[in-house]
Amino acid sequence: MMCTIIDGYCHCGLRKYRPIEDLRLFMDELGICRSVLVQHMGQYDNSYIEGVVAAEPQRFAGVMLVDVDSPDACSRLGFWTEGGVFRGVRLIASTIYEHPGVWKRAAGLGLNIVIYDEAGLVPHLDPLRKFASEHPHCRLVLSHLGVLNVKEAPHYDSHRRLLELADLGNVYVQISGFSMFAEYPYTALVDVVRRLIEAFGPGRSFYGTNFPAVSDDEAAYSKDLELICTGKLGVPPDALDDILNGTAMRLWFHIAPKQ
């Protein structure tokens, strides 16, 4: 496999997950040329990821985390942004109610906002739409297929509401997190993946491994990637270039957005 793949969502660390040396080996094995390093929940010292990205900015991009409950959350956003290393921040969707100032500060700093919520993103659809509309230059990323409610399998009817955000050109979706919602080969997710790509388009959809959060078996990631490349997970062949490379390149590595 040629080294043209960008992993749009993965983790590394010293206290949780695995160090960057392990990630580099994993990338080399799968033919991944660049990765987006996303800080894990509960870790607000972003210096490890900052150091990795600063040393290899052509290979890595960084997504920080700040404690939104802290009174200095906005200043911490500014602190971690001023070095020019971090291009995004990870925020829990429900915090848009209690801490709108943090969201606005992130938008003002030009950060991409990677949105996650364990309970799913659908319950927060209306404030997310309002925020995206009011901040058209801030790019919002819906983590892990928009976070499915596994109790709704196999049709995920309420999840279809997320497609309403597709008319907003600054909302993106991650094609990632498959094993969070289904067993390999993820047959129940094929329609979900297909309709997300149809709605948001390949130019606003991108792949992420979620390494090493979902499996200790590195062969599992290779199998996931094979499902994507062969179309068995609902990704059309003509969308692969964008989903495996182009979209993440534009979103995380300072390449102009695709029109």
pLDDT in tens, 125-155: 999 999 999 999 999 999 999 999 999 998 8
Q: Which pLDDT value is given to residue 2?
A: 44
Query: For the chain, how many residues are written?
Result: 259
Count of domains in the chain?
1
Asked if the structure places residue 258 within a domain, the reply is no
Say if residue 69 is exposed, middle or buried (CB neighbours under 10 Å; 0-12, 13-18, 19+). Answer: exposed
Q: What is the pLDDT of residues 151-186, one digit of tens each?
A: 999 889 999 999 999 999 999 999 999 999 999 999
Q: Provide the pLDDT confidence category of residue 1 given band limits of 50, 70 and 90.
A: very low
Label residues 204-226 b or e (16+ Cβ within 10 Å = b). Answer: bbbbbbbbbbbbeeeebbbebbe
Alpha-carbon distances, residue 14 vs 21, 23, 90 (angstroms): 11, 12, 19
Query: Which pLDDT tens digit goes with each residue over 72-119?
Result: 999 999 999 999 999 999 999 999 999 999 999 999 999 999 999 999
Look up the pTM and report it: 0.95
Q: What is the pLDDT of residues 198-230, one digit of tens each?
A: 999 999 999 999 999 877 778 899 999 999 999
pLDDT value, residue 217: 78
**Of 11-15, 32-36, 139-143, 161-165, the least confident:** 11-15
Residues 6+ apart with CB under 8 A from 182: 150, 153, 188, 189
Instruction: Please report, for the domain that includes residue 190, its CATH number.
Output: 3.20.20.140
Range of the domain at 200: 5-252
Share of the chain above pLDDT 70, in %: 97
Residue 200: how many other CB atoms lie within 10 Å: 25
Residue 139 · residue 251 · CB < 8 Å: yes
- Give the torsion through C-alpha atoms of 48, 53, 56, 57, to 10 deg: -170
Residue 67 maps to a domain = yes
257 belongs to a structural domain: no
Reading the block at residue 7, the tokens are 């992993």
pLDDT of residue 16: 82
Residue 17 neighbours by CB distance under 10 Å: 16
Is the Cβ–Cβ distance between 41 and 12 less than 8 Å? Answer: no
Residue 228 lies in a domain: yes
